[in-house]
């Protein structure tokens, strides 16, 4: 049996086109402005703080960053995986922005309590959610005192709550002698309240007289 003559045989194979373009070498030119803008947004986003406004800042910039990254990946046929991941992260961050915005909008108070939060508790870094729990404990109650009327009588009025003056002025006296005034956004009974133990009952040692309409 004679061996086959391979030289006489004609073996041809047509090259098949690749499913995706092949990246054969590094680029000599830098990426476009969209790529750099995406990284700038991501850098700014990761500098966000805590709380509702911090989360809103964080996810807003992350959403912009991943959106720009999605546009950049879409323009390059060699970055299919990058496009899918960027688009997925863009969707997640956008959902977080909507979620935080809804929660921030749902945490709202009357104008009086909003002023208390802005003037007193916001400076301490207290979140709106925690302040809302404090407001819920007092059922959002606001007491109006006419001028020259007592808020508390010395030796008689029980200490059972902690109050903040919203407007006007309170005159503090002991045995009929003037001590000082209490002005808006100051606690009325913090010394007496702080001096009592949780299970202890007590009465005011001073009198509170409304000096102006509050």
- In a domain, residue 131? The reply is yes
Residue found by looking up tokens 């945490």 in the block: 107
- In a domain, residue 27? The reply is no
Cβ within 8 Å of residue 74, ≥6 positions away: 83
Q: Say whether both 43 and 97 belong to one domain.
A: yes
Its pTM stands at 0.46
Q: Which domain holds residue 83?
A: 33-106
Q: Say whether both 178 and 191 belong to one domain.
A: yes
Q: Say whether both 210 and 155 belong to one domain.
A: yes
pLDDT of 141-175, one tens digit each? Answer: 777 777 777 777 777 777 677 777 877 788 888 88
- In a domain, residue 42? The reply is yes
pLDDT of 49-59, one tens digit each? Answer: 777 778 888 99
- Residues 185 and 112: their CA atoms lie apart, in Å, by 10
- Residues 164 and 182: their CA atoms lie apart, in Å, by 10
Cβ within 8 Å of residue 75, ≥6 positions away: 32, 34
What distances in angstroms separate CA 69 from CA 40, 86, 97, 115, one per listed residue?
Answer: 11, 6, 18, 41
User: Could you report the average pLDDT of every consecutive run of 10 residues in the chain (214 residues)?
Assistant: 58 56 63 84 84 84 92 78 88 90 71 78 76 71 75 74 78 82 77 58 74 56
- In a domain, residue 9? The reply is no
Number of domain units in the chain: 3
- In a domain, residue 2? The reply is no
- Please check whether residue 163 is in contact with residue 189, taking contact to mean a CB–CB distance below 8 angstroms: yes
């Amino acid at each position: 049996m004679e061996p086959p003559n391979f030289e006489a045989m004609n073996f041809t194979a047509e090259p098949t086109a690749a499913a995706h373009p092949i990246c054969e070498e590094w680029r000599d030119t830098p990426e476009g402005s969209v790529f750099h803008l995406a990284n700038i947004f991501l850098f700014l986003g990761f500098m966000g703080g805590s709380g509702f406004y911090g989360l809103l800042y964080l996810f807003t910039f992350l959403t912009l960053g991943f959106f720009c990254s999605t546009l950049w990946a879409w323009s390059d046929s060699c970055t299919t995986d990058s496009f899918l991941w960027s688009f997925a992260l863009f969707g997640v961050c956008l959902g977080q922005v909507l979620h935080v915005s809804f929660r921030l909008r749902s945490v709202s108070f009357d104008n009086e309590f909003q002023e208390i939060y802005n003037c007193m508790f916001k400076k301490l870094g207290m979140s709106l959610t925690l302040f809302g729990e404090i407001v819920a404990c007092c059922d959002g109650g606001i007491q109006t005192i006419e001028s020259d009327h007592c808020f508390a009588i010395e030796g008689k009025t029980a200490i059972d709550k902690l109050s903040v003056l919203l407007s006007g002025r309170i005159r503090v006296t002991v045995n009929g002698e003037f001590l000082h005034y209490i002005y808006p956004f100051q606690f009325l009974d913090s010394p007496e309240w702080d001096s009592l133990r949780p299970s202890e009952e007590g009465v005011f040692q001073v009198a509170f007289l409304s000096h102006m309409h509050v």
